[in-house]
Each structure stands twice: as structure tokens, then as C-alpha cells.
A and B are shown apart, each in its own frame.
Chain A
């Protein structure tokens, strides 16, 4: 570990270790199950309120006295999109919705989701890797 209070110097391995700690705490998940490809909902059992818990715990874990780590609403997980008919129509993401997802969520891999676009499958795009990518991208900003 070489954090020394400076989040800029955190390595990918350190990010993964801290994300694992958060998921163990928030979801009661077994460390062995927390692999990069594991989805938060299907593989690790996350429910909707757990996403807020994960967000709050990540903020705490990656904040330092010098640099608070604050995740804005809708930054990590998409919000206020499902009820917008411009973005979701007949249960599927529209072209405009996909464009917004792509812009707002550079940390998720939309390749598989893009083929189906069904809102029910949206939760599956959030994997352990996507959380780590989010942290890494945000710390670089």
C-alpha cells in the first residue's frame, strides 16, 4: 500500500483491494466471489438500496483529509433515466438513452447491453471491474 493520504498514487491493486472491502461490508459477499467479472446484482446479490450503501462506503474509503472523494447523484449508477420517455421507450433504451449512458458511464462496458437494451438487464452491466474502473477514472480527474 502506498496511499500516504494521496489518492492520486493509489495503484490498481490497491483500488481493487478497497473495492473488495466495500463489497464484503455492503453485500456480505465472500471475498472469493468478488472477481472482476462478477455482477453486483446477480453474482453478489445487491439490491437497489445496496447501491447507495456502496456509493457512501466508496466515498469514505477513498476520501482523504486533503481530498474528499464525493460521488455525485447519477455519476456511478444511472438515475432519473428510466422514467424519461426520451431515454426509455417500451422497456428499452432508445438511441438517445444509449448515447447518454455511454457519455455518463465511461466505466461500464455497454457492448453486451447494447444488443438488447432492455432496462431489466441494466443492472447486469455493473461489475466489480466497472466499479474499479470508475474509481480509477475519477481519481485521475
Chain B
């Protein structure tokens, strides 16, 4: 399993905003455990909210990384707010809309909205909000040393960027 919780990037506004899409599919193993049939209750596959937070963290993390051309190691440092008030089920899409609020040599603050798309209605609906902070780990105040290579933006991330037509950001 690849730890990628976005499928493609659909909007990129340099230094400001990045929007990613995640298609939720019954082929995803975890949906069969979240939640399986129990007694008389039928199975109820629902996208775990924590993985939606991860999807937003990946979206906002790529946006933060793009500000310094992916030279900094950007790690999730703090989730100040994560509110999701509706379920997403297989067949629906999730849209993660991330914006930069503040950038500093030490890290960045982002805000985001989470929306879901239902093919039956053809409508996008806002279902959540996040505020996530990222740290540039090499600039951390504790002075800890990290490996030189950028272990954050792996090949999986690079592939998504390339497939979304944003490969030039890594040059």
C-alpha cells in the first residue's frame, strides 16, 4: 500500500493555494474494515476522517514544500483545527483546498477546506475545515540533525506532481 491520500492536483496558484482530488473507491481495503457488517447491521464503508486529515496534510504539505522548491523537509507539526461534519462514501470524491496563511524560515501555517462531490447530485458540498502547521525540520529550534536527502517528498509525491503537470516545480 502506498501512503498517498490524494490522486491528483487540479489547481496550483504559486505561493498561495493548491487543490487536490481524492476519489474514494471500494477497492480500498480499509473501507471494508471501516465499518464491516456486524450481526444484523450491514457493512457501512465510510472514508475515515483521520485519513481525510492526512489527505489535507499531504495537499497543504506539497503547497508548503513548493514555496521553497521542495528543498526544505516539510513535516506536519501541529493540527490546530480539524472539523469534518459529514461522511464520504465509495463513489464520491473529496476535494482538498489548501491555502498558505503564513510562511517563515521555521515553518508555515495553512488553512484548508474539505469538500465532497456526489455524482448523483453533481454538487460539491463543503464538509470540513482544517488549520495545519508545518515545520521546516532542518530549521527546528531544538537543533536536531536530520538526514541530508529529502525523505519527505518521496517518489510517490513526485509522481503525483509530474502526473498533474507540475513536474517543473521540482526542477
User: Taking beta carbons and an 8 Å cutoff, which residues of A are in contact with B?
Assistant: 25-26, 48-53, 55-56, 59-60, 73, 77, 79, 82-83
Contact = CB atoms under 8 A, between A and B. Distances in A.
A101 to B, nearest CB: 14
A51 B142 CA distance: 12
Nearest to A26: B80
A49 B102 contact: no
B141 A77 contact: yes
B106 interface: yes
A52 B105 contact: no
A50 B78 contact: yes
Given A53-B133, A56-B104, 19 more contacts: A48-B140, A48-B141, A48-B142, A49-B78, A49-B107, A49-B133, A49-B135, A50-B78, A52-B133, A52-B135, A53-B78, A53-B80, A53-B109, A56-B133, A73-B104, A73-B105, A73-B106, A79-B139, A82-B143
26 contacts: A26-B80, A48-B140, A48-B141, A48-B142, A49-B77, A49-B133, A50-B78, A51-B141, A52-B77, A52-B107, A52-B133, A53-B78, A53-B109, A53-B133, A56-B101, A56-B102, A56-B109, A56-B133, A59-B102, A73-B105, A73-B106, A77-B141, A79-B106, A79-B141, A82-B141, A83-B143
Question: Main SS of the interface on chain A?
Answer: helix
A21 to B, nearest CB: 14
A48 B140 CA distance: 8
Interface in B123-171: 133, 135, 139-143
Nearest to B136: A52
Q: Which 6 A-B pairs have the closest CB atoms?
A: A49-B77, A82-B143, A56-B102, A48-B141, A56-B109, A73-B105
Interface of B: 77-78, 80, 101-102, 104-107, 109, 133, 135, 139-143
Nearest to A78: B141
A55 B141 CA distance: 14
A45 B50 CA distance: 25
A77 B106 CA distance: 12
A141 B170 CA distance: 41
Nearest to B145: A83
B107 to A, nearest CB: 5
